[in-house]
């Protein structure tokens, strides 16, 4: 066993050189790559987090929109029901009024007809009376004949009227 300090010096120089070479050409780039990957992973994690938040926000928005749409639909149905009810009532009301109007009109017409008929009858009766009277005046001679005549004319009147 011998000791040579030259080996020590050589060892120091060699290690220094190796340290420099390794860090410049091998480990340096490797550290760089690892650091870059770390950053990428970090960035992707952040992006994923952001995406999650965004989707949560969108989901909440969708839910709200759906809720709103449902409420609106309910409102529309409610309105339609109210409108239709009102319309139905209106229709019934109108029908009832129309019926009343027709009935009243009919009544009035009947009244008119009745009045007309009575007037016409009155006119005929007076004409008849005048005729009867003139006939009676024509045949005053014979009481019998007169009676017969009255009867005959009454019959005639009865026939014509």
Partner 1 sequence: MRIGVHEFPVIEVGGFHLDLSAILAIVVSGIITFVIAKLATRNLSIRNPSKLQNFMEWVVEFVHKTIASTMPLSKVKMFVGLGMTLITYLFVSNLLGLPFGIVTEHHEEFRLFGSVVVSEETIEKHGGEVHVAWWKSPTADIMVNFGLAIIVFFLIHILGLKMNRKHYLKHYVEPYPVFLPLNLIEQIVRPVTLAVRLYANIYAGELLIATILMLNFVGIPLLAVWQGFSIFVGAVQAFLFTILTMVYISQAIVHEDH
Task: By CB under 8 A, name the binding residues for partner 1.
Answer: 1-12, 14-19, 21-23, 25-31, 33-34, 36-37, 40
Q: How far is the CB of 46 from partner 1 (least distance, A)?
A: 17
Residues 6+ apart with CB under 8 A from 136: 146, 149, 150
CA distances from 7 to 4, 19, 21 (A): 6, 18, 20
Compute and round to an integer the Cα radius of gyration of the chain. 63
The long-range contacts involving 122-127, CB below 8 angstroms and separated by at least 24 positions, are 124/161
Q: How far is the CB of 2 from partner 1 (least distance, A)?
A: 7
Q: How far is the CB of 12 from partner 1 (least distance, A)?
A: 4
Specify whether the CB–CB gap between 137 and 149 falls below 8 A: no
Closest to partner 1 by CB, 43 or 127:
43
Closest to partner 1 by CB, 7 or 116:
7
Token digits of residue 76: 């529309």
Closest to partner 1 by CB, 16 or 127:
16
Closest to partner 1 by CB, 20 or 111:
20
Q: How far is the CB of 76 from partner 1 (least distance, A)?
A: 55
């Amino acid at each position: 066993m011998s000791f040579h300090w030259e080996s020590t010096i050589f060892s120091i120089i060699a290690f220094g050189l190796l340290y420099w070479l390794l860090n410049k050409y091998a480990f340096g780039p490797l550290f760089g790559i690892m650091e870059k990957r770390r950053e990428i992973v970090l960035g992707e994690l952040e992006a994923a987090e952001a995406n999650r938040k965004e989707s949560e926000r969108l989901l909440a928005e969708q839910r709200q929109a759906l809720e709103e749409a449902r409420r609106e639909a309910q409102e529309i149905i409610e309105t339609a029901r109210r409108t239709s009810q009102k319309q139905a009532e209106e229709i019934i009301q109108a029908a009832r009024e129309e019926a009343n109007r027709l009935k009243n009109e009919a009544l009035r017409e009947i009244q008119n007809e009745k009045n007309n008929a009575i007037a016409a009858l009155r006119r005929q009766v007076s004409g008849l009376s005048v005729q009867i009277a003139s006939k009676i005046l024509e045949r005053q001679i014979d009481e019998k004949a007169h009676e017969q005549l009255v009867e005959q004319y009454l019959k005639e009147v009865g026939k014509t009227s």
